[in-house]
């Protein structure tokens, strides 16, 4: 996590002084990490599986895409698969003791199908991987992701459970394990935490849910407890299994996301259970200087939450 000046005063100084340069430096840091990983992969020989795990709103989708694009540019044919496409049909999802379905457990995935598909890929067979339709809550009957891995090809598999031994120990091939997260808090000069790591991921998710999933702030809050409980149980115990860890913080992100998040927090109907937390989040975001959303590059990880 070197070279991260996660200080509120520094962030605001940069946002006021030269926001364009600040944004580009933050983007360059992240892109350089992706470039270094791609270079490492290109030195390997033979089919390779990259397992990329991280918690909600860490930026798994964009990180997998950028790594895929970088490798393809280097002449390494690369594909991306999402573990989400291996979900069991909604009716078959396991239940929690309280009677609600547990979408966070690794056992919400069709593990035998996943193992079969990946091991066939490693043998060079043509595989029709499933595509999950989240609208119907079932695997698509018509759509699938067909892949054949050449002798030097790479497939990136991204998802919450990508480092779980329940999954990785059944793969009969070479694995590179990557863990990503927002891994820095924001402090002020007195050492007070302004935003913690989960705060920053929550803001990303809240904005994304409202923009793209027709979800209210209240609904994001309701889901968040189960999401973080699932991370504590099914992800964080395995993060040290990773060969590489990536901090996906973009120091300028709160300066941009505040313009999207604050109106939602101010104007939404929020139940008493979440009001205090929402007020604290507003006070924290208000401390950041503004950076216009137009300053965010179109290929930025933050576009995963902000949109184009």
Residue 111 is given by DSSP the state: H
Q: What is the pLDDT of residue 64?
A: 97
**How much is the CA Rg of the chain, to the nearest whole Å?**
20
pLDDT for the residue numbered 1: 40
Averaged over successive runs of 10 residues, the pLDDT of the chain (308 residues) comes to: 83 97 97 97 89 96 97 96 94 89 91 96 94 87 90 95 95 93 96 97 96 90 91 95 97 98 94 95 98 96 94
Tell me the three-class secondary structure of 129-198, residue by residue. Answer: EEEEECCCCEEEEEEEEEECCCCCCEEEEECCCCCCHHHHCCCCCCEEEEEEECCCCEECCCCCEEECHH
Q: State the pLDDT at residue 47.
A: 83
Residue 45 pLDDT: 81
* pTM given for the model: 0.93
Answer whether residue 24 is part of any domain.
Answer: yes
Assigned token pair, 87: 């979900």
Q: Are 83 and 158 contacting, i.e. CB atoms less than 8 angstroms apart? A: yes
Residues linked to residue 101 through DSSP beta bridges, in sequence order? 95
247 vs 29: CA distance, rounded Å:
10
- 120-129 long-range contacts, CB within 8 A, separation 24+: 121/47, 121/49, 121/147, 121/148, 121/149, 121/155, 122/47, 122/49, 122/149, 122/171, 122/172, 122/173, 124/47, 124/148, 124/149, 124/150, 124/151, 129/81, 129/85
| Three-state DSSP class for residue 4 | coil
Q: Does a structural domain hold residue 199?
A: yes
Phi/psi of residue 146, nearest 5 degrees: -90, 125
Tokens 């999207």 identify what position?
260
Does residue 186 lie within any of the structural domains?
A: yes
CATH of the domain at 285: 3.40.50.300
Q: Do the strands 175-181 and 127-133 form a parallel or antiparallel pair, or are they unpaired?
A: unpaired
Residue 1 located in a structural domain: no
Residue 288 counted as domain residue: yes
CA-nearest of 173, 80, 175, 90 to 129 is 80
Q: How many domains does the chain have?
A: 1
Question: Residue 300 sits in which domain range?
Answer: 8-306
CA 160, CA 60: separation in Å to the nearest integer?
Answer: 9
What is the per-residue pLDDT for 112? 96
What is d(CA 272, CA 21) in angstroms, rounded to the nearest whole number? 41
Would 97 be classed as within a structural domain? yes
């Amino acid at each position: 996590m070197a070279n991260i000046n996660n200080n509120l005063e520094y962030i605001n100084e940069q946002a006021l002084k030269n926001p364009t340069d600040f944004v580009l430096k933050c983007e360059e840091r992240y892109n350089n990490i992706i470039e270094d990983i791609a270079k490492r992969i290109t030195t390997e020989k033979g089919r390779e599986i990259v397992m990329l795990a991280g918690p909600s709103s860490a930026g798994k989708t964009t990180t997998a895409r950028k790594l895929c694009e970088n490798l393809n540019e280097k002449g390494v044919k690369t594909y991306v698969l999402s573990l989400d496409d291996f979900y069991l049909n909604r009716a078959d999802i396991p239940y929690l003791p309280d009677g609600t379905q547990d979408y966070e457990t690794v056992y919400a995935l069709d593990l035998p199908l996943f193992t079969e598909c990946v091991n066939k890929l490693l043998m060079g067979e043509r595989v029709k991987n499933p595509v999950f339709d989240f609208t119907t809550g079932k695997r698509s009957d018509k759509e699938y992701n067909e892949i054949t891995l050449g002798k030097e090809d790479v497939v990136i598999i991204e998802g919450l459970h990508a480092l779980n031994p329940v999954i990785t120990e059944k793969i009969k091939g070479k694995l590179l394990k990557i863990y990503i997260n927002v891994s820095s808090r924001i402090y002020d000069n007195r050492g007070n935490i302004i935003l913690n790591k989960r705060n920053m991921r929550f803001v990303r998710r809240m904005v994304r849910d409202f923009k793209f999933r027709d979800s209210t702030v209240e609904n994001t809050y309701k889901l968040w407890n189960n999401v973080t409980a699932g991370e504590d149980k099914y992800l964080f115990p395995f993060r040290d299994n990773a060969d590489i860890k990536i901090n996906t913080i973009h120091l300028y992100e709160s300066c941009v996301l505040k313009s999207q998040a604050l109106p939602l927090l101010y104007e939404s109907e929020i139940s008493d259970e979440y009001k205090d937390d929402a007020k604290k989040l507003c006070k924290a975001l208000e401390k950041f200087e503004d950076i216009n959303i137009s300053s965010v590059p179109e290929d930025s990880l933050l576009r995963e939450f902000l949109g184009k």
